Amino acid sequence: MTHNQLIKKTQNLKGVSISKIEENADGDTLYIHIKLHKRLRGICPHCHKHVPGYDSKTQERQWRALDMGTKKVILVSDVHRVKCPEHGVGTERLPGPGISPGSQKNSSNRWPASLFISLKNLSVSR
Ligand SMILES: [Zn+2]
């Protein structure tokens, strides 16, 4: 398993490629730059349907993801705007557990359910 595969698995990132991983000067934060696969671009975050793009501009967005050990993890990606006939203009849906550039609040509510199941099984097996 490569580093990128390990990161994608622990962060539950599906349908993305990791283009770059950087560490800040203090060494306490990892910036993981991701790119959506083509088939997952242009999806409405509300109805999960492919919808037309609103404009051709993208904007780099950052949002907090599941910490890795003692390091904070920030996902970085260019995000397109889409125009859904039902939901209007918004940023395209990103894959992963609760990943949304708009949700930069406490990351504890975005941990993948599979992690909790794994921890539960771990405590049972002791
Ligand atoms: Zn929609």
Distance CA 42, CA 119 (A): 35
Higher pLDDT, 120 or 8: 8
pLDDT over 50 at 99, yes or no: yes
Ligand 1 centroid, distance to 86 Cα (angstroms):
5
Closest to 67 in 3D by CA, of 5, 4, 10: 10
Structural domains of the chain, count: 1
Q: Is the pTM of this model over 0.95?
A: no
Ligand 1 centroid, distance to 121 Cα (angstroms):
37
Q: How confident is the model at residue 104 (pLDDT cuts 50, 70, 90)?
A: very low
Mean pLDDT throughout 7-13?
Answer: 88
Mean pLDDT throughout 40-46?
Answer: 91
Ligand 1 centroid, distance to 42 Cα (angstroms):
11
Give me the phi and psi of 119, to 5 degrees please.
-65, -40
Q: Going by C-beta distance under 8 Å and a sequence separation of 6 or more, which residues neighbour residue 12?
A: 96, 97, 112, 114
Closest to 76 in 3D by CA, of 115, 29, 28: 29
Residue 96 β-bridge partners: none
The pLDDT score that the predictor gives to residue 109 is 39
Ligand 1 centroid, distance to 83 Cα (angstroms):
8
Ligand 1 centroid, distance to 97 Cα (angstroms):
19
Domain that holds residue 34: 3-125
